[in-house]
Chains A and B, each alone.
Chain A
Amino acid sequence: MKFDFSPLPTITSKKVFAPIVPITFRTKNHEFSTFALVGSGTSGALISTIIAEALGIEWDNIPTEVGFTPSGTFRFHKTKNIEADIDGNVFPLSISIAEGISPYQCILGQNDLFQKAKIIFESYKKQFEIIFREFN
């Protein structure tokens, strides 16, 4: 699967491009489709509390942990009972539900998507490719 980097709205006329993929999350009784940033520098998958609620997850009943970013800390709640589907490639996710994250509501990282697929970034062409590994 090849994607162009997605142009995103900014507050100025400057264009911002980001590697973004369409994704569907599933829990036992809910399904939610959205778009995720493919974060090569992100350790593990993150979703916002809004997406967690759309998936029927009672995130505020899950113990709080603290994560780190270059600009400080954030609070998150870890859950395992989520399945991700990217263009028919389905895999289980251990995901952090982060409080107060923006602008991206969903980010995939090294511990999840990057374990399941070879990802080639060609930023000079504003393109990236995801090649899912074949598991027997």
Chain B
Amino acid sequence: MKPTKIDFAKLLKNYKSGWVGISSDFKSVISSGKTLKEVQEKTKETKEKIYFFPADQTYNDFIG
């Protein structure tokens, strides 16, 4: 079975602020907005499961 790949570098390429709603196959951004609440509101009627993720973060080496 092929491993699941979630490529945030690709998904968030055109989003530098706020939050995004990502499709359940993890291949596309369905909605975006300045705040999480805004994205939730925009996707309220969507039947597909939406995964919410911040677009305004940069990730360098993490120790934890």
Measured CB to CB, the residues of A under 8 A from B are 1-4, 6-12, 14-16, 18, 20, 22, 24, 32-35, 37, 39, 41-42, 50, 54, 69-70, 102-105, 107, 127
Are B3's CB and A105's CB within 8 A? no
Shortest Cβ distance from residue B4 to the other chain A in the assembled complex, whole angstroms? 5
Are A7's CB and B7's CB within 8 A? yes
Tally B residues with Cβ within 8 Å of A.
29
Are A9's CB and B64's CB within 8 A? no
Q: Which residue of B lies closest to A40 (CB)?
A: B64
B2, B40, B58: the one contacting A9 at CB < 8 Å is: B58
Are A35's CB and B53's CB within 8 A? yes
Are B4's CB and A2's CB within 8 A? yes
Residues of B within 8 A of A1 (CB): 4
Q: Which residue of A lies closest to B35 (CB)?
A: A50
**How far, in angstroms, from A12 to B59 measured CA to CA in the complex?**
10
Are B59's CB and A32's CB within 8 A? no
Are A22's CB and B59's CB within 8 A? no
A11, A33, A50, A69: the one contacting B36 at CB < 8 Å is: A50
Residues of B within 8 A of A39 (CB): 64
Residues of A within 8 A of B54 (CB): 103, 105
**How far, in angstroms, from A57 to B39 measured CA to CA in the complex?**
19
12 A-B residue pairings within 8 Å (CB atoms):
A2-B4, A6-B7, A8-B59, A10-B58, A16-B61, A16-B62, A22-B6, A24-B49, A35-B53, A41-B63, A54-B40, A104-B59
B4, B40, B64: the one contacting A4 at CB < 8 Å is: B4
B44 interface hit (Cβ, 8 Å): no
Are A41's CB and B9's CB within 8 A? no
